[in-house]
Amino acid sequence: MIDIALIREKPEWVKAQIAKLNDPAALERVDTIVELDQRRRALLGQAEAVQAARNKLNKAVGMLRGNKQLDDAQKGKLAAAATQAINAGDYERAIAALSDTLDDSLPETETGALDQLMATLGSIGSTVEGLNEETHIIEERLNEQMLWLPNLPHESVPVFDSEEHNIAWTPEGTFREFDFEPKAHWDLGPALGIIDFERGVKITGTRGYVLVGMGARLQRALISFFLDRARQKGFTELYVPYLVKEEMMYGAGQFPKFRDNVYLDPDAELYMLPTAEVAITNLHRDEILDEAQLPLYYAAHTPCFRREKISAGRDVRGIKRVHQFEKVEMYKFTAPETSYEELESLTEAASDLLRELQLPFRRLEIVTGDLALPPPRNTILKSGRLAVRNGWK
């Protein structure tokens, strides 16, 4: 989340950075955030001022009650004057009215003026509570707006308005040549008997599949391969919970944007992992790490569960966007000063996996207009025959 102080101090600069992301709604949010922040700070100041006046009035009333130089009638005059000032919202005049110097111009009052003053002081407490409640409502609205605001793009990210301008590096690896038209994996898998779409759909409905025999073994082997290579590069392997609390989804930047794309157990109030990143991001939540401990390298394998409401297309049998899939995540906690160096080495670690598997691939630098929440910079490695057949799209 962007620091509210930065938005408060440099709203136009923040808007200029967000404008690079091709996100008009986010631009409007900046103005809304500035307005809500101003209202919140004004309400806080007002509540603090009223509470301070209330404290002074309570002290002044106590001194008035104990003032032996005044009789009850005189105290009643002062109490009535203070009550009138409080009702007018002039707390300073009310405090002055409770001084032990009697003003002869004050009118005579009926008995019970002190009791009426105490009741009026109680209403000040209600005023403070009302201001605090209004502040709470504003803070919730402000926090919601802040959560929807994307991170500012890093200065190294090329500024363009759409994915058409994403920058492709020279492909690595050797593309195999065939003397026949190769099949896509969603056709080849069923032909080899290693992917069963029909029974997958029978079991779970749309976007389901069953890996059979060598298909299941291949997936298990790849997971082990990725984890073993990550360990060799200094990553500590983790086994993390597959169910997480709502605040973990916010902590990883998944909520509120992707709320409709995850599965929820409403009784337990737990969400199924959409990616291991959610669990790892929150691993050191509410902890203070010494800089000397950094960087921390972690790797984890988890199943991932997503509702995937976007159509995957009839031509790919629903296998591009499925409800359940396996993923190995490599993750780093770093100091800000070295974060982009660490990102580069992380990208190289992933590239090494493709090199060792002898899979041709290319690196794609994402431009500002194609950045999604939450990263300020993003690099994608694309590989496989699908990429070749579809022009690396």
pLDDT at 204 over 60: yes
Instruction: Give the pLDDT band of residue 393 (cuts 50, 70, 90).
Output: very low
Sequence-distant (≥ 6) Cβ neighbours of residue 374 within 8 angstroms:
150, 151, 253
Which has the minimum average pLDDT: 38-42, 176-180, 236-240, 351-355? 176-180
User: Which is higher by pLDDT, 278 or 1?
Assistant: 278
Q: How far apart are CA 113 and CA 119, in angstroms?
A: 10
What contacts 259, CB < 8 A, 6 or more positions away?
249
**Tokens encoding 352:** 């090494």
Query: CATH number of the domain that 284 lies in?
Result: 3.30.930.10
Tens-place pLDDT, residues 317-334 = 556 688 999 999 999 999
d(C-alpha 48, C-alpha 21), whole Å: 39
What is the tens place of the pLDDT at every residue in 236-275?
999 999 999 999 999 999 999 899 999 999 999 999 999 9
Overall domain count for the chain? 2
Q: Are residues 77 and 203 in the same domain?
A: no
pLDDT at residue 319, as a whole number: 64
Q: Is residue 238 part of a domain?
A: yes
112: confidence class by pLDDT, cuts 50, 70, 90: confident
Q: Go through the chain and tell me how many residues it has.
A: 393
Q: Are residues 208 and 130 in the same domain?
A: no
Higher pLDDT residue, 213 or 81?
213
Establish if 320 belongs to a structural domain: yes
Residue 317: per-residue pLDDT: 57
Could you tell me if 26 and 90 lie in one domain? yes
Pair (85, 186) in one structural domain: no
User: Given a cut of 60, is residue 61 above it in pLDDT?
Assistant: yes
pLDDT at 350 over 50: yes
Cβ 156 vs Cβ 352: under 8 Å: no
Domain of residue 252 covers 176-359
Summary mean pLDDT of the chain: 88
- Report yes or no on 246 lying in a domain: yes
In percent, the amount of the chain with pLDDT more than 90 equals 60
The tens digit of pLDDT for each residue in 268-326 reads 999 999 999 999 999 999 999 999 999 999 999 999 999 976 654 544 555 668 899 99
Q: Is residue 85 domain-shared with residue 200, that is, in the same domain?
A: no
Q: What type of residue is 323?
A: H
pLDDT at 351 > cutoff 90: yes
The verdict on 189 and 332 lying in the same domain is: yes
The mean per-residue pLDDT over the stretch 106-134 comes to 80
Span 50-75, average pLDDT: 85
pLDDT of the residue at 388: 41
**Do 123 and 220 belong to one domain?**
no
Residues 220 and 124 in one domain: no
User: pLDDT band at residue 105, thresholds of 50, 70 and 90?
Assistant: low
Residues 126, 217: one domain? no
> Which of the four pLDDT bands, split at 50, 70 and 90, describes residue 346?
very high
Res 391 pLDDT > 50: no
pLDDT value, residue 83: 87
Whether residue 133 is found in the same domain as residue 255: no
User: Is position 113 within any domain?
Assistant: yes
pLDDT above 70 (res 3): yes
- DSSP annotation of 338 reads G
- Clarify whether residues 137 and 284 are in a common domain: no
Question: Do residues 364 and 380 touch, judged by C-beta distance below 8 A?
Answer: yes
pLDDT of residue 308: 77
Model confidence pLDDT, tens digit, residues 162-196? 889 999 998 999 888 889 888 888 899 999 999 99
With b meaning 16 or more CB within 10 Å and e meaning fewer, what string describes 73-90?
A: ebbbbbbbbbbebbeeee
Whether residues 78 and 209 share a domain: the answer is no
22 pLDDT more than 80: yes
Is 154 inside any structural domain? Answer: no
Q: Give the residue with greater pLDDT, 381 vs 221.
A: 221
Give the separation between CA 297 and CA 342, rounded to whole angstroms: 10
Mean pLDDT to the nearest integer, 117-141: 91
Given this model, what pLDDT does residue 248 score? Answer: 97
Tokens found for residue 339: 């974060």
Q: Residue 223, Cα to own-chain centre: how many angstroms?
A: 29
**Is 78 among the domain residues?**
yes
Is position 381 within any domain? no
Find the mean pLDDT for residues 342-351.
95
Mean pLDDT of 221-232: 97
Q: Are the C-beta atoms of 371 and 165 separated by less than 8 Å?
A: no
Q: Residue 390 domain-assigned?
A: no
